[in-house]
Structure 1
């Protein structure tokens, strides 16, 4: 089954990252690289991506059949989606094990959700 592991950031986590030395930041990137390699080797990786800052996005609300792009950020929220892993693994428990390896998990900024099958019995 597929699971989306969402990695969030907020002003406090950005402050922590910015306070790191170059060596500490490099260690953080190495942790992500190791997780990527492990998921690729196990066959559980579908895709993993980091996202640009929300200010670089656009929202497309439809009004009377027409879309109008508006600049971001969009929700009035402290936390913003920073990146994600889409994994295909045997169970929710395994997805949680994978998510626990994401560096932001120690800050409580990682969320795991099952992906619904759009053509399966759930629909």
Structure 2
């Protein structure tokens, strides 16, 4: 089953780190990503640009309303994600707890909903 591991952190914290701390952070994520690859559970992953590049779209009276920035205002922002394919939620939680993001923010683990075949063929 596929699970999305979403990394939430304070995006400005990276700029407050020393060069050494940033290098350690990059190395930690590289090692984590490599361990997912070696276990053959990694489907995809990426880091997201800062929230000031986000665009929010909402339909109001059937018309798109486009706003700059993210929809929610919170301490932590969605910074990146890993899409993994593992047997169950326990395995997904185990991988999430090993992610460097769990040490400096929080991880949200969510199963991917697989649409029925008829929904895919209609798209």
Matched, 1:109 2:102: no
More divergent stretch after superposition (48-57 vs 2-11)? 2-11
1-side partners of 2:20 and 2:85: how far apart? 32
Match of 2:24 in 1: 27
Pairing 1:10-21 to 2, within 5 Å after superposition: 10=10, 14-15=12-13, 17-21=14-18
Matched, 1:72 2:69: yes
Match of 2:54 in 1: 57
Tell me the matched-pair count: 117
Matched residue of 1:100: which SS?
A: helix
Judge conservation of contact 2:6–2:82 (CA < 8 Å) in 1: yes
Judge conservation of contact 1:54–1:74 (CA < 8 Å) in 2: no
Match of 2:34 in 1: 37
1-side partners of 2:53 and 2:15: how far apart? 20
Deviations 1:69-122 (A, max 9, x none): 1101321222211111110011211111211121121245112121222228xx
Q: Which has the higher strand share?
A: 2
Runs of 4 or more consecutive aligned structure 1 residues displaced over 6 Å after TM superposition: none
Match of 1:94 in 2: 91
The TM-score, its normalising length taken from structure 2, stands at 0.82
Matched, 1:7 2:7: yes
